[in-house]
A and B are shown apart, each in its own frame.
Chain A
Amino acid sequence: MAVEDFWRGLTEPSGPVLGLAVVVGLALAAAVPAAIDDAMLRDRPGRFATDPRDDAAFTTARMLRMDEASTAPAILVLGGSAVREALTSPEALIHEVVERGVRAEVHVVASADQTLYLSDAIFDRAPRGGGMLVLGMGAYRVAPLPHLQQAEADAPRFGVDLPRLREHLAEDGVVAKPWAVGRWASPRLSFLLPRAWHAVGRWGSGDVLEATNWWPYGSPPIAQVVFEDYAAWLRDVPESVVVDQFQAAEALVRRARDAGYDVALLRTPANPTYFPPDVAQAMGALDRRVDEWAKGHGLDWVDPGVGLDIGPRDLIDWCHLNHAEKEAAWTSALADALASRWERL
């Protein structure tokens, strides 16, 4: 009798039951972003990543790891995809630095299209015990693509809030489009939305993705025509863009020094023959400005590529290294440079 009653309750359609179901469903749906906490994104980004190249998922985890860091001195490497691709992997660099006996927390946050605005915002999450900041720098960083600012405003890429990035964007009057989800939703929600089904599909399977570099080794060079718009942009970069990026870099350097960080710049591999001569010339002029700026601010360069015989064929375009042995050598050379600089501090 009791079983029959239970079955009737379970199967009979009823208005109040449907209403309760709607309440339960909406509550559960709303609870998902709250139930996924920082620890899950930090420790298991491979569960949420759309694929092994999901830069934002792995970068989110790396930023969250900085939050967890103690107040012990830290070595921080920030930069864009040029740094990321030049490394075998961030973990390989961290391993090599620790192997050299350096007693510091090491954090490598080198992510896709990292503007200097973004580097400055990421530094906000850096351990507060001081240490050493090595910042990827070059022409490509002071002339970021024009759509990047708007893209950051429209749809926050990362699962963490970066208030300083919002400040920088607001200073430039960059406003998100009204329909942009990221404008009104939390960064966590806009981070989880596209990843929800990847995470659900992988749950319990033990299938956790490992981050990889963007291009598989041996990929053919990217046709220059792909970057035609970028080349046109580089020919005549608006001065205001360059000035804004230099200002962000300046703010970052000042804040890092105030927080007890020694600051140096990191030169990444480059292929100046990739673009037509007039574009290469424009980039060369920007590189010289970066050099002057560095000198004016008393900033040293760390250049792990010296003596590694990295040539145009080793890069897939103008700034991304794609060669297993040379990436391993570059990673080791950077670990050497970081360890010896750390020792001298």
Chain B
Amino acid sequence: MSRRFGQLAQATLLGVALAGASWWLASAAFGRLVFRYQGF
């Protein structure tokens, strides 16, 4: 049972890291693209 909790914690930590990395990548790759025109 404890091992299962450990695996769940691992999946959660990795998942959070993956979500952060996805947003970082998306922000870097597409953020500039959609932000290229803002006017002044």
Contacts and interface: CB of A to CB of B under 8 A. Distances in A.
Interface in B1-40: 1-19, 21-24, 26-27, 30-40
Interface in A281-324: none
Interface string A1-45: 111011111111010111011111111110010000000000000
A17 B30 CA distance: 29
A340 to B, nearest CB: 32
Contacts of A16: 7
A36 to B, nearest CB: 12
Contacts of A56: 38
B28 to A, nearest CB: 9
A1 B6 CA distance: 13
Interface in A200-255: 200, 214
Tier of interface size on chain A = 35 or more
Given A5-B2, A9-B3, A20-B15, A181 B37 contact: no
Given A17-B7, A24-B11, A32 B23 contact: yes
Interface stretch (A95-103, A125-133, A134-142, A150-158): A150-158
A55 to B, nearest CB: 6
Given A28-B15, A181-B33, 8 more contacts: A9-B2, A17-B10, A28-B18, A32-B19, A111-B39, A112-B40, A113-B39, A196-B27
Q: Which 6 interchain pairs have the tightest Cβ spacing?
A: A9-B6, A25-B18, A24-B15, A112-B39, A113-B39, A21-B14
Interface of B: 1-19, 21-24, 26-27, 30-40
15 contacts: A7-B6, A17-B10, A25-B22, A28-B15, A29-B23, A54-B38, A55-B39, A56-B38, A157-B39, A182-B34, A193-B26, A193-B30, A196-B27, A197-B24, A200-B23
